[in-house]
């Protein structure tokens, strides 16, 4: 009989050939701003208050619900893992990811979510409910 168990210890999703799994969080976000960026590069965009999204080659800032109004739901995953009706597309571009890890953090550098990615440049798409003070941010990677 064949041994069907995975090896003990940490084996990442790419070594097993599996799809990544969606992760989500509900957080109250101070200053109504989230950063989606490479884990090692901290070149933040200039946030001028016009619009709802700002970016650099390795970071995207997106506005969200103020902490005093309640939590923001944040989801990150592959396109196949996230619902089809995502809302309004705010951002669709390549993000430099030399660390092969994307993090979602607050202005106080509190890490909310993180995901491994397979390449040093990753396509990132961000959807919200279309409001500047959105209570939903969906991040599709890859």
Burial readout 2-16 (b: 16 or more C-beta within 10 A, e: otherwise): eeeeeeeeeeeeeee
The domains of the chain are located at 28-141
**What does the pLDDT read at residue 86?**
75
Residues 55, 93 contacting (CB under 8 angstroms): yes
Tell me the mean pLDDT in the region 85-102: 93
Options 2.60.34.30, 1.10.260.30, 3.40.50.10610, 3.30.460.20; CATH of 28-141: 2.60.34.30
Highest mean pLDDT among 1-15, 73-87, 112-126: 112-126
**Global pTM value:** 0.83
**Is residue 36 predicted with pLDDT exceeding 90?**
yes
* Angstrom distance (rounded) from CA 37 to CA 39: 6
pLDDT above 70 coverage of the chain, percent: 85
- What does the pLDDT look like over 45-92, one tens digit per residue? 999 988 899 999 999 999 999 999 999 999 999 888 776 777 899 999
**What does the pLDDT read at residue 17?**
39
């Amino acid at each position: 009989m064949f041994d069907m168990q995975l090896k003990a210890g940490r084996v990442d999703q790419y070594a097993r050939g599996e799809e990544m799994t969606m992760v989500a969080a509900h957080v109250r976000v101070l200053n109504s701003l989230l950063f989606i960026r490479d884990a090692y590069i901290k070149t933040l965009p200039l946030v001028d208050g016009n619009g709802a999204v700002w970016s650099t080659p390795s970071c995207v800032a997106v506005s969200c619900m103020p902490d005093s109004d309640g939590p923001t739901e944040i989801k990150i995953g592959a396109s196949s893992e996230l619902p089809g009706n995502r809302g309004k597309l705010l951002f669709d571009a390549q993000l430099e990811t030399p660390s092969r890890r994307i993090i979602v953090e607050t202005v106080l550098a509190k890490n909310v979510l993180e995901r491994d990615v397979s390449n040093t440049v990753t396509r990132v798409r961000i959807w919200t409910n279309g409001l500047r003070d959105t209570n939903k941010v969906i991040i599709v990677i890859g």
